[in-house]
């Protein structure tokens, strides 16, 4: 077993109070229940923008200051510093009263006038057009003449032009797309778009109890093994004319990822993937003819991720592009020429690149963030030459770094840094890793006066000895080695979706639960992303098993070494975390005794095709995997107590999942608690959100703390 903070843990287990001293004060109810930590913590300054390569504008306590990075000096900003020089910018499009408007020099200009809702307005790179969708057809309007052109003509409820089908929005283009499925070419001459035909996609009906006759919503939602939307990739000019269709057969069982235009608009890179999702081919499509040639190919034994928009990054000099791939087992950056030929690997090794921050083409240097090579629960900034040489960590210390505001030429950057025991600080750093100036500290003047519960990162060796699994623990105040404490485990648990980071946090509920004697834990398994794609691959055709194996190993360590009460181990999570909570109460019932499960998948045949089949394959080629991963398979092991919660009109994880679980628990004569939220989708806010928060609080007090809920804990 390996520990990040051995001294703290050893003191806890020895029964020595390190949470505070006799001189320290307890937090007040106002601090606990209203999270009012004024004096204990304070806001960090915000780096807003760079005036040039050397001068940074910093906002602190409502005032602006200029930091001279070369000299390390600071002065109050003048009016000249504050006034950003006006430069020619593209008009900003937006929707108002269903129609397209643009904002020019703070003035609103209406471009269209129609009763139909127009969606996702996007201005062309040259600022002359706005494209959008209306009634599932693609349109463009000339900003100068206000002439509207209908670019497609067959849009219906089932034929979607430039508007994504549900599974494409949720799993491939991402929720941030807001269903947008069209893309301007850099030269503004063409618009690429998806035409989705949902006719063969099964329709799922969602109902709610609103009004006299209720509410009905129908969604074209492909579940495992179902027909997916038939997608065509079209290219059309903003002024109209014939559509050029890319040379793909829409009837093939396939997926298309977000396309990329080459910088000169000469071709469109269309990401194609087979239904099995283990082969990716990016084709270069000729926008004039639709003909295609392979440009980049990747194949893996498990799967290739299709979603996201950062696979390709073209260099401004036109000499090549950077590509991110995890085919080696870890996500890394590769340098290719414009014909798709590999020049060299830019990064390599047993660590993961998390993003490219800046490319200095003149000097041939790439700045990128990555999970620390020294500690996977931390993020650092690095630089490396384009040829893959001279890798250097630029951030410092045993901290997690949130890097922002690189100077225009990459000579300096600002980092907010801290860890579980160090409140966040901010510093200006140069591109050699030297701290130029400390900018701020979130630790307030009264911080040391108060007794705060301690949080630390601990690593527990996996049962097979291959991985040091991370968990983040907030210990009870005045920890007593002779006592046993209830445990609350908060998880998400999905593939490459870890949530344990070595970061500072201070919350009212967190501190009050510590005062009440609750061990609060978040934990990550081997497939959470800490151990690269190499670790995530364990989940292939086997969702649930390794997550629960590793979670159980960590909890057993807490029972043996951390004062955990084996009779009060509660797990909670939402969505995939809800699945893990249900699975813990069935498959993992020998370890977990209580659960709060929200928006849960309970059987993977009930979830969507693209996400589920990526990891599980189909029921035909992985029947045993679907059986063992199902919560229903292990209901005979259920022996604890579970709270089941679901939104009635959840269009992502259908309430069907929880209803089938409820039915099977009833048939098995098992006890459980159930709460449904009318009008609730995959999450909900307002008073229902507060009700949900209170529901969980009451559960914790009833079953784990076994006492009345203090009035201040109810929102």
What does the pLDDT look like over 303-332, one tens digit per residue?
A: 999 987 789 999 999 999 999 999 999 999
pLDDT bin (cut points 50, 70, 90) of residue 2 is very low
pLDDT at 20 over 90: no
pLDDT at 171 over 70: yes
| 284/296 Cα distance (integer angstroms) | 9
What would you report as the CA-atom Rg of the chain, rounded to the nearest whole angstrom?
27
CB 494 within 8 A of CB 524: no
| 65/61 Cα distance (integer angstroms) | 10
CATH number, domain 460-713: 3.40.50.1820
| 192/196 Cα distance (integer angstroms) | 13
Model pLDDT for residues 349-396, shown as the tens digit of each residue = 999 999 999 999 999 999 999 998 789 999 999 999 999 999 999 999
pLDDT bin (cut points 50, 70, 90) of residue 84 is low
Model pLDDT for residues 26-39, shown as the tens digit of each residue = 999 889 998 899 99
pLDDT bin (cut points 50, 70, 90) of residue 13 is very low
pLDDT bin (cut points 50, 70, 90) of residue 549 is very high
β-strands 673-677, 641-647: how paired?
A: parallel
Q: What is the biggest distance separating any 2 CA atoms in the chain, rounded to whole angstroms? A: 80
CB 607 within 8 A of CB 575: no
The pair of structure tokens assigned to 5 is 């903070």
3-state helix, strand, coil in the chain (%, to 5): 20, 35, 45
Q: Which residue has the higher pLDDT, 389 or 90?
A: 389
pLDDT at 6 over 50: no
| 94/565 Cα distance (integer angstroms) | 55
- The pLDDT assigned to 86 comes to 54
What's the mean per-residue pLDDT of the chain?
94
pLDDT at 15 over 80: no
Q: At what angle do helices 576-586 and 545-561 cross, to 10 degrees?
A: 70
- The pLDDT assigned to 19 comes to 45
- The pLDDT assigned to 85 comes to 56
Average pLDDT, stretch 167-194?
96
Average pLDDT, stretch 280-309?
95
Tell me the backbone φ, ψ of residue 507, rounded to 5 degrees: -135, 155
Write down the domain spans for the chain.
460-713
Sheet holding 435-441, edge to edge: 400-404, 412-419, 422-430, 435-441
- The pLDDT assigned to 16 comes to 36
Question: 623-658 burial by CB neighbour count: b if 16+ within 10 A, else e?
Answer: eebbebbbbebbbeebebbbbbbbbbbbbbbbbbbb
The pair of structure tokens assigned to 302 is 């498990």
| 484/494 Cα distance (integer angstroms) | 30
β-strands 673-677, 594-598: how paired?
A: unpaired
pLDDT bin (cut points 50, 70, 90) of residue 4 is very low
Residue corresponding to tokens 């579940």: 223
Model pLDDT for residues 112-122, shown as the tens digit of each residue = 999 999 999 99
β-bridge mates for residue 359, sequence order: 366
Average pLDDT, stretch 72-97?
82
Helix (H) / strand (E) element for 410: namely: none
pLDDT bin (cut points 50, 70, 90) of residue 87 is low
Average pLDDT, stretch 239-257?
97
pLDDT at 191 over 70: yes
Dihedral (Cα; 9, 15, 16, 17), 10-degree rounding: 90
pLDDT at 512 over 50: yes
Residue corresponding to tokens 């919503």: 217
SS3 444: coil
- The pLDDT assigned to 11 comes to 43
């Amino acid at each position: 077993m390996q520990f990040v903070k051995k001294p703290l843990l050893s003191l806890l287990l020895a029964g020595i109070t390190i949470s505070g001293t006799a001189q320290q004060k307890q937090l007040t109810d106002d601090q606990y229940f209203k999270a009012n930590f004024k004096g204990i913590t304070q806001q960090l300054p915000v780096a807003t923008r760079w005036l040039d390569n050397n001068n940074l504008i910093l906002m602190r306590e409502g005032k602006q200051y200029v930091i001279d990075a070369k000299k390390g000096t600071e002065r109050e900003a003048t009016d000249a510093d504050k006034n950003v020089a006006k430069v020619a910018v593209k008009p900003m499009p937006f929707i108002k009263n269903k129609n397209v408007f643009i904002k020019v020099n703070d003035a609103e200009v209406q471009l269209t006038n129609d009763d139909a809702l127009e969606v996702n307005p996007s201005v062309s790179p040259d600022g002359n057009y706005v494209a959008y969708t209306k009634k599932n057809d693609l349109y463009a309007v000339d900003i100068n003449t206000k002439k509207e052109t209908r670019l497609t003509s067959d849009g219906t409820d089932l034929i979607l032009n430039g508007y994504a089908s549900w599974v494409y929005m949720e799993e491939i283009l991402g929720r941030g797309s807001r269903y947008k499925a069209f893309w301007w070419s850099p030269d503004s001459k063409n618009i690429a778009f998806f035409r989705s035909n949902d006719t063969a996609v099964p329709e799922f009906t969602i109902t709610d109890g609103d009004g006299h006759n209720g509410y009905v919503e129908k969604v074209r939602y492909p579940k495992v093994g179902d027909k997916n939307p038939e997608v065509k990739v079209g290219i059309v000019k903003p002024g109209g004319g014939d559509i050029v269709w890319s040379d793909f057969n829409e009837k093939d069982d396939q997926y298309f990822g977000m396309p990329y235009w080459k910088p000169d608009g000469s071709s469109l890179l269309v990401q194609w993937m087979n239904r099995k999702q283990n082969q990716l081919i990016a084709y270069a499509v000729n926008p004039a003819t639709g003909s295609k040639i392979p440009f980049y190919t990747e194949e893996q034994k498990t799967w290739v991720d299709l979603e996201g928009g950062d696979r390709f990054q073209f260099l401004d000099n036109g000499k090549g592009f950077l590509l991110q791939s995890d085919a080696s087992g870890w996500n890394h950056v590769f340098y290719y020429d414009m014909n798709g030929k590999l020049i060299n690997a830019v990064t390599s090794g047993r660590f993961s690149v998390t993003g490219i921050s800046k490319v200095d083409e003149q000097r041939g240097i790439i700045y990128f963030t990555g999970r620390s090579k020294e500690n996977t629960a931390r993020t650092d900034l690095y630089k490396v030459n384009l040829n893959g040489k001279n890798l250097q960590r630029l951030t410092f210390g045993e901290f997690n770094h949130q890097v922002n505001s690189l100077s225009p030429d990459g000579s300096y950057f600002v980092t907010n840094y801290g860890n579980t025991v160090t409140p966040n600080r901010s510093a200006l750093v140069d591109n050699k890793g030297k701290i130029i100036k400390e900018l701020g500290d979130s630790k307030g003047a009264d911080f040391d006066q108060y007794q705060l519960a301690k949080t630390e990162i601990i690593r527990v060796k996996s049962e097979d000895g291959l991985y040091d699994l991370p968990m983040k623990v907030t210990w009870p105040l005045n920890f007593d080695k002779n006592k046993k404490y209830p445990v609350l485990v908060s998880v998400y648990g999905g593939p490459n979706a870890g949530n344990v980071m070595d970061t500072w946090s201070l919350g009212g509920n967190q501190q009050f639960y510590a005062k009440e004697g609750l061990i609060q834990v978040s934990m990550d398994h081997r497939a959470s992303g800490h151990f690269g794609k190499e670790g995530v691959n364990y989940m292939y055709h086997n969702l649930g098993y390794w997550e629960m194996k590793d979670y159980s190993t960590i909890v057993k360590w807490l029972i043996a070494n951390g004062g955990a009460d084996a009779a009060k181990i509660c797990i909670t999570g939402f969505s995939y975390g809800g699945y893990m909570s249900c699975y813990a109460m069935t498959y993992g019932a020998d370890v977990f005794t209580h659960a709060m499960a929200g928006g849960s998948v309970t059987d993977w045949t009930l979830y969507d095709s693209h996400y589920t089949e990526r990891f599980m394959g189909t029921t035909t080629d992985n029947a045993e995997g679907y059986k063992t991963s199902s919560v229903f398979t292990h209901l005979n092991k259920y022996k604890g107590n579970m709270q089941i919660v679901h939104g009635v009109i959840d269009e992502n994880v259908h309430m069907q999942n929880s209803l089938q679980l409820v039915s099977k628990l009833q048939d098995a004569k098992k006890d459980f608690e159930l709460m449904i939220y009318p009008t609730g989708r995959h999450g909900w806010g307002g008073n229902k959100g507060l009700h949900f928060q209170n529901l969980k609080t009451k559960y914790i007090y009833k079953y784990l703390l076994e006492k009345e809920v203090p009035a201040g804990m109810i929102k």
